[in-house]
Amino acid sequence: MLATADALARLLDAARQVDGRARVDTLDALDRVLAADVTSPLDVPPMHTSAMDGYAVRAADLAGASEAAPVTLPVSQRIPAGHAAEALAAGTAARIFTGATVPPGADAVVMQEMAQVSDDGRVAFAQAPTAGEWITRQGADIRRDSVILPAGTRLTPQALGLAASVGCAQLDVVRPVRVAIFFTGDELRMPGEPLEPGAIYNSNRFTLRALLAKLGCEVTDLGIVPDRLDATRETLRRAAADHDLILTCGGVSVGEEDHVKPAVEAEGRISMWQIAMKPGKPLAFGAVRRGEEGTEAFFIGLPGNPVSSFCTFLLFVRPFLLRLAGVKHVAPRVYSMRADFSQKKGDRRNEFLRARVNEAGGLDLFENQSSAVLTSTVWGDGLIDNPPNHAISAGEIVRFIPFSELMR
């Protein structure tokens, strides 16, 4: 069996960024992947600004100011944010507001709580400021011509704000990855349909489509395909025509009713991997030919058990899709956390245990780790990455991957 790290490495080695890009409004670019660096055409802020509501002064004018001997200055101008400032005359102060331009000649801002306004409009200062106090310097955040967002960045809300802060109204992004998905199994029914003896509802369809949507894919759902070789082959041909990846769920074993493997072999190529992981284990990877074009669509076949398909998607399909989309850094962050439970016996495979963060900051384990118990994925906050043959003792530090990391 392949180790999980080896299986992931093989997938990522095969992945190539999809062709095609688009120019989209920055307001509409959430979760898209940058196709080109974003370079700032200006300093941010573009001028020295006040970090506080208060008074812009020349620090030298307030030298020696104290509670016993305050220094009083007239107010020579008022500077709201967004308004031009005149040079500050020596021996005067400027009323200034947060984000406003610091006037030439001023080298400090005194917050308004540290100043006393008299009835005649003059301002008394009982403390001498230091030069630079409460001033945000030009370019303190971003320097002109610096790369603020490199190509391959998946755009978060804060990244969109950063792009907007340097005046980017539009961004060059990679086109979405196009994924065709279908499900095999004559036992599958959709919610709302009657459930005959031996039938089950197709929960994987809902889980996997939602996961694909969170990754920004363009999804074509080809539904439930009958357990027949001819139907599976025909669906593969349709899916390969205009998609980057074909994703299936179920039917990748070697039983008489498992037609996905021979169908993909007939329409392209496939490798069946037995991965040393629990839940999971069977994973198929290959490609399906696109007619006479000489090109291929990638193929990944997931196991049918709901927790197995969920975990293998998060651990293998997610990074593969992100790499197709041009994302450079696809590994999730892993946290070292305390296990507040004991598991006396380890498995010979790499286990991914559903766990939840408790109020004490440790991890609790879901009591039933079966690959059929989808409840564990809703109850849990993430997966414990437990190495093969390793028993876990209470108080031990384990590797924890939050679902939030595996779904971004």
Does residue 143 lie within any of the structural domains?
no
Are 344 and 212 contained in the same domain?
no
Are 10 and 28 contained in the same domain?
no
CATH of the domain at 240: 3.40.980.10
User: Looking at residue 256, what is its pLDDT?
Assistant: 47
User: Looking at residue 227, what is its pLDDT?
Assistant: 87
Are 197 and 319 contained in the same domain?
yes
Compute mean pLDDT per 10 residues along the chain, 408 residues long, and list them.
94 96 97 97 97 98 95 97 96 98 98 93 95 97 98 97 98 98 91 93 96 96 92 96 95 65 94 92 94 88 94 98 96 98 94 98 97 97 97 98 96
Q: Distance between CA 168 and CA 181 in Å, rounded?
A: 35
Are 129 and 201 contained in the same domain?
no
Are 291 and 379 contained in the same domain?
no
Does residue 383 lie within any of the structural domains?
yes
Total domains, the chain: 4
Are 182 and 72 contained in the same domain?
no
Does residue 330 lie within any of the structural domains?
no
CATH of the domain at 77: 2.170.190.11
CATH of the domain at 371: 2.40.340.10
Are 94 and 68 contained in the same domain?
yes
User: Looking at residue 254, what is its pLDDT?
Assistant: 55
Are 232 and 290 contained in the same domain?
yes
User: Looking at residue 252, what is its pLDDT?
Assistant: 67
Residue 202 burial (CB count, 10 A): 22
Domain that holds residue 154: 21-39+150-174
